[in-house]
Amino acid sequence: MTIKPLVLLPDPILRQTSKPVERVDDAVRAFADDMLDTMYDAPGIGLAAIQVGEPLRMLVIDLAKEDEEKAPHLFINPEIMSQGDEVSLYEEGCLSIPDFYAEVERPASALVHYIDRDGKQQEMEATGLMATCIQHEIDHLNGVLFIDHISRLKRDMVVRKFTKLAKQRPVIA
Ligand code: NI
């Protein structure tokens, strides 16, 4: 079990555009397992590779509740093919922006194509919390954070707060 350090706002790494995974091999699967360990430890329901400093287009999601069995999903090179016309409002958070939550409006459904851990092409019609979560995580692959979807005033406030916190954080190694 490997828990990787999380990249936090305002680290510019979070603004990078991640590159496609070229081949799904054992190294990619092992890294995906590290991502899951890191996400469960945090705890969170979704994590993109860039949040542990790897600019690769892969993300993990597990929406199972605490008393339910784990239901890990791995999405490699995910792509949104289409989005529904309806929108939904959900209070989002992010492991890279701890303890900050804000309502974000997103399409209520999305058709997503991706590659699974066996290297097979898959598709998912995501609805409900899965739709919100997968769109939030795919944003990360493009250097977009959920605070980019809220008012400028609130965004400036949270960036200022985390910039101050980062200065107080001890630098290790
Ligand atoms: Ni996030």
Whether the Cβ atoms of residue 137 and residue 146 lie closer than 8 Å to each other:
no
Report how far ligand 1's centroid is from the alpha carbon of 60 (Å): 11
Domain-by-domain residue ranges, the chain? 12-168
Output the CA 98–ligand 1 centroid distance in Å.
Answer: 10
pLDDT band at 36 (very low <50, low <70, confident <90, very high): very high
Please state the pTM of the whole predicted model. 0.95
Of residues 27, 130, 24, the one with CA closest to residue 77: 24
Mean pLDDT of 24-39: 98
The secondary structure element, H or E, covering residue 33 is: helix 26-41
pLDDT at position 172, please? Answer: 64
pLDDT surpasses 60 at 173: no
Percent of the chain topping pLDDT 70: 98
Higher pLDDT, 61 or 167: 61
pLDDT digits (tens, 9 = 90+) for 110-165: 999 999 999 999 999 999 999 999 999 999 999 999 999 999 999 999 999 999 99
Catalytic positions: 137
Q: What is the pLDDT of residue 168?
A: 87
- The pLDDT of residue 58 is 98
What percent of the chain clears pLDDT 90, i.e. is strictly above it? 95
> If phi over 0 gives left and psi between -120 and 50 gives alpha, with beta otherwise, what is residue 101?
beta
**Considering the chain, what is the average pLDDT of its residues?**
96
Position 100 scores a pLDDT of 96
Provide the pLDDT confidence category of residue 1 given band limits of 50, 70 and 90.
confident
Q: Cα(120) to centroid of ligand 1, in Å?
A: 26
Top-level class of domain 12-168? alpha beta
